[in-house]
Amino acid sequence: MAAQSRKQQQTRYNILMISSEMVPFAKTGGLADVVGSLPHELARLGHDVRVVIPRYYAIDPGRYSLEVALGSMGVWMGETLEWCMVYSRDMGDGVTVYFIEHNGFFGRDGLYHDAAMNDYLDNPRRFGFLSRAGLQVAVDTGFAPDIVHVHDWQSAAAAAYLKTWFWDNPILGKAASVLTIHNAAYQGIYPKHHFDYLGLGWNTFHADAFETFDHINLLKGGIWFADLVNTVSPGYAREITTPHGGFGLAPYLSNKGNSFYGILNGVDYSDWSPENDRQIPARFSASDLSGKLQCKEALQKHFGLEVNPRVPLFAAIGRFVDQKGYHLLAPAIERALNEMNIQFVILGSGDPWLQDIFGSMPGRYPGRAGSHIGYNVALSHLIEAGADFFVMPSLYEPCGLNQLYSLRYGTLPIVHATGGLDDTVENYNEASGDGTGFKFWHPTVDSLYYTIGWANSTWWDRPGHMARMITTAMSQDYSWDRSTAEYIAAYEKAIANKRAYDSWPR
């Protein structure tokens, strides 16, 4: 172990990341948080990290102090040569971010879909191009990566371009690839008439690589070509390799053998710690929780709830999509509001019918329920800080970040025991008072309702256990240190796999 960590300290990698999201530039979910943190953590250890993302319309070059890195860059796709421009921003800590400007593809308001939630029909072209252009940035800037690290279906094809178009390229030919799957449900499945444009060659359009039921499957192709694949928690890695798991990907992931496994996401505690969070009205820590009460008061006022420290406040934040299980939460929390002395607030947007149900709750439970339909980072910090319980009934959850933030803010998570939620929350033991939250195993309205009831009764009847759990929760450490070390070990393994691959006789 000591020898391994010494080796990790000595090896300095050139790492090229390609992603469709990155905090603070573009975000729809946790992918952006991860790509906004991991490169900086790697750079802190001395690695040279370059990240490539699209220059979406909303990323204003002036506001973000972008500089022109390449006045024009030609990118060969299968059918055509695309021209784009590349901006860059030196983040000042060893990370450089490149932004691909291609107005035809990225000069739109949405990242993946329009305001009516309709997927852009040319998404395979947009992100196939991003994957190919990300590699071209390395070539045109003379940056020879040891590792090309790609994320989700949006950049998965880069793993294939490396082993096809660029297999003997002097800059890219030796690079090993790592593909991180943040969500196996989104695979980038599109009609095959886009395949010629991608230029991946029809010999890769087979069931083990880019083909699924006669459609293109970008994520599956990436899994086939990547030298190592990981997902964002060990629990989710197990789930998606079970015979019925992985939305059809299980056999292909299992085929990777020990080159597929889970690495838990870390948390950026410089952003998410009650001790130094500037976005909340008062700071607090496990040894002095008085600031948490002030935050609770501010949260109750913000949503027009009765200001009362004694009533337990339940909260939820997230995208209103099937994955998150809010269709269970809506009836369960209504029932709880009808039968228990609790308060509830929710922040999120997505499915219109969930927006209607949650949006109308404050009218139906005046002074007891609050909702904000939309996206609001400052409010998400206030909710994490001011609530007592945080509900995550996700049907599946590759990692989940909000339960990790909740633990740190002493806001006990109530979670469906799945994926990363199961890995990171320790169930309450009513005999001893141990644990960091409340779990249920069956994703049904009843299970969730009874678990909310269990949390509520713990609040009223066992305050000593509550206090103990809050302290335990706040002391959990999900910082990036451990995850970053695991990524570096993954890079080493990917490089070894690539060397072995290169040495096979052809």
* Residue ranges that bind ligand ADP, judged by CB under 6 A: 29-30, 33, 317-319, 347-349, 375-377, 380, 399-402
Which of ligand GLC, ligand ADP, none has residue 204 at its interface (CB below 5 to 8 Å by kind)? Answer: none
Q: Which of ligand GLC, ligand ADP, none interacts with 188 (beta carbon under 5 to 8 A by kind)? A: none
Nearer to ligand ADP, 15 or 264 (CB): 264
Can you give the three-state secondary structure of 370-396, one letter per residue?
A: EEEECCCHHHHHHHHHHCCEEEECCCC
Residue 377 beta carbon to ligand ADP: minimum distance, rounded to whole angstroms: 5
Report the side by side order of strands in the sheet with 343-350: 369-373, 343-350, 313-320, 389-392, 412-416, 438-440
Rule CB under 6 A: is residue 179 a binding residue for ligand GLC? no
Work out how close the CB of 41 gets to ligand GLC at its nearest, in angstroms, rounded to a whole number. 14
In the bound complex, what is the minimum distance in angstroms from residue 30's beta carbon to ligand ADP?
2
The reply to whether 401 sits near ligand GLC by the rule CB under 6 A is: yes
- Kindly report the length of the chain: 506
20's contact among ligand GLC, ligand ADP, none, with CB below 5 to 8 A by partner kind, is: none
Q: What is the dihedral sign for C-alpha 227, 231, 237, 243?
A: negative
Q: Which is nearer to ligand ADP, 45 or 185 (CB)?
A: 185
151 forms beta bridges with: 180
Cα end-to-end distance, the chain, whole Å: 36
* Closer residue to ligand ADP in complex, CB, 1/115: 115
- In the list ligand GLC, ligand ADP, none, the entry touching 375 (Cβ below 5 to 8 angstroms by class) is ligand ADP
Which member of 88, 212, 265, 343 binds ligand GLC (CB under 6 A)?
265
Task: Based on the shown chain and the rule CB under 6 A, indicate whether residue 398 belongs to the binding site for ligand GLC.
Answer: yes
Q: How far is the CB of 203 from ligand GLC (least distance, A)?
A: 32
Type and span of the H or E element at 274? none
Give min distance, CB of 473 to ligand ADP, in A: 17
C-alpha distances (whole Å) from 457 to each of 350, 438, 443, 453 are 32, 12, 21, 6
Strands 228-231 and 176-181: parallel
- Secondary structure (3-state) at 412: strand
The CB density around residue 203, as the number of other CB atoms within 10 Å, is: 8
Residue 73 engages ligand GLC in binding (rule: CB under 6 A): no
Q: Which residue has the tokens 């997902």?
A: 231
State the binding partner of 232 from ligand ADP, ligand GLC, none, CB within 5 to 8 A by kind: ligand GLC
| CB distance 214 to 192 below 8 Å | yes
Footprint on residues 30-69 left by ligand GLC (CB under 6 A): 30-31, 34
Continuous segment of H or E residues that includes residue 292: helix 290-302
Number of residues this chain uses to bind ligand GLC (CB under 6 A): 14
> Taking CB within 5 to 8 Å according to partner kind, which of ligand GLC, ligand ADP, none is near residue 70?
none
Contacted by 318, from ligand ADP, ligand GLC, none: CB < 5 to 8 Å by type: ligand ADP
Helix (H, G, I), strand (E, B) or coil at 115: coil
Q: Choose the binding region for ligand GLC from 11-19, 27-35, 256-264, 340-348 (rule: CB under 6 A).
A: 27-35
- The least distance separating ligand ADP from the CB of residue 318, rounded to whole angstroms, comes to 5
The β-bridge partners of 22 are 26
Reference 260, options 223, 230, 238; nearest CA is 230
Which of residues 56 and 129 has its CB atom nearest to ligand ADP in the complex?
56
Nearest residue (CB) to ligand ADP, 217 versus 403: 403
Q: Tokens standing for 382? A: 């206030």
Cis peptide before 191 (omega within 30 of 0): no
Q: Is the CB of 96 or the CB of 155 nearer to ligand ADP? A: 155
In the sheet that holds 14-18, the strands lie side by side as: 67-76, 81-90, 95-101, 48-54, 14-18, 147-151, 176-181, 228-231, 260-262
Q: Which of 182, 368, 372, 493 binds ligand GLC (CB under 6 A)?
A: 182
| 260 CB burial (10 A radius; 0-12, 13-18, 19+) | buried
Query: Nearest residue to ligand GLC, using CB?
Result: 30
Nearer to ligand GLC, 34 or 313 (CB): 34
For binding to ligand GLC (CB under 6 A), which residues are involved? 29-31, 34, 182-183, 232, 265, 397-401, 420
